[in-house]
Amino acid sequence: MTSTLPTIALLGGTGKEGKGLAYRWIKAGYSVIIGSRLLDKAQRTARDLNEILAKELADGQKNLIAAKRADIIVLSVPYSAHKSTLEEIKDAVQGKILVDITVPLVPPKVTKVQMPKAGSAAQEAQEILGKNVSVVAAFQNISHEHLFDAHPIDCDVLVTGKGKAARLEVLKLVKAAGMKGWDAGVIENAAVVEGMTSLLIYINKQNKVKSAGIKITGVD
C-alpha cells in the first residue's frame, strides 16, 4: 500500500503499551513495523494486529531491522533494556526522530521517582545516540489500559525533546492516536514528565484504578 505517512518502527512493540499505540496508528493508516529481540514474537504480534484491524499495515522484525526500515522510531522497552537497545540501533537511527516513551522505573519502588544520572531516560538516549538524532519524549503518562480499543482518551500527552520541528512531527502522531498533545519544550523538561509517571502509579494504587492520567487546563 502506498502512503505519504511515515513508517513507524515500534521497538518493544510486543508489550502492552507498544501494541496499543501500534493498534491506534495502524487504525489511522500508518504502516508500523513491530520490533522485538525475538523475530517470531514480533511477527506474531504483527499478524494479530493485521487480523484485528483487517489491514495489512503491520510487519514484524527484529529491533535493528525495524529501526533501519522506518522513518520514525518509537522506543517502548522496560528501562532495564533501554541502554542496550539504544546501543544496538545507534547507527540505524542517525538522521531520524526517535520517540522515547521509556520511564526510568526501578522496581520494586515504582511509585518513587528515580531519575538516571543524565537527568531523564530521554536525555540518556540523546547522549547515547548523538547529536544527529532528534530524541523526543512522549506518551509516558498514558496508561496502556486506554490504548487497545477505539474509545476516546481523556488524557493529554506532553511532548518534550530536541528541536521544535521534531516535536511537531511527534504531535502529529499523538493526534493520530486519538489524544491531545502539548509541546512541552526542550528535552531537559522530559525529567518532569517521566517523573510524573511514578506519581500516577501511586495515585492508581491509592484509588484502586489503573488509568489515571493528566490534563492541561486553562488553555483554549
CATH numeric code, 8-207: 3.40.50.720
pTM of the shown model: 0.94
Per-residue buried b or exposed e for 113-152, using 16+ beta carbons within 10 Å of the residue's own CB: bebbebbbbbbbbbebbeeebbbbbbbbbbbbbbbbeeee
Instruction: Report d(CA 122, CA 144) in Å as an integer.
Output: 20
All three cell numbers of 119, joined, read 537527568
**Residue 155 confidence (pLDDT):** 93
Asked if omega into 108 is within 30° of 0 (cis), the reply is: yes
Give residue 4's pLDDT: 87
Instruction: Report the C-alpha gap between 121 and 83 in whole angstroms.
Output: 9
Reduced to 3 states (helix: H, G, I; strand: E, B; else coil), residue 24 is: helix
Which strands, in side-by-side order, build the sheet including 58-62? Answer: 58-62, 32-36, 8-11, 72-75, 97-100, 134-137, 156-161, 180-183
Tell me 29's DSSP state. T
Looking at residue 63, what is its pLDDT? Answer: 97
pLDDT 10s digit of each residue in the chain, 220 long?
445 899 999 999 999 999 999 999 999 999 999 999 999 999 999 999 999 999 999 999 999 999 999 999 999 999 999 999 999 999 999 999 999 999 999 899 999 999 999 999 999 999 999 999 999 999 999 988 889 877 888 899 999 999 999 999 999 999 999 999 999 999 999 999 999 999 999 999 999 998 899 999 999 7
Q: Which helix (H) or strand (E) holds 69?
A: helix 63-69
Cβ within 8 Å of residue 70, ≥6 positions away: 6, 7, 8, 9, 33, 96
What pLDDT, on the 0 to 100 scale, is given for residue 2? 44
pLDDT of residue 3: 56
Report domain extents, the chain: 8-207
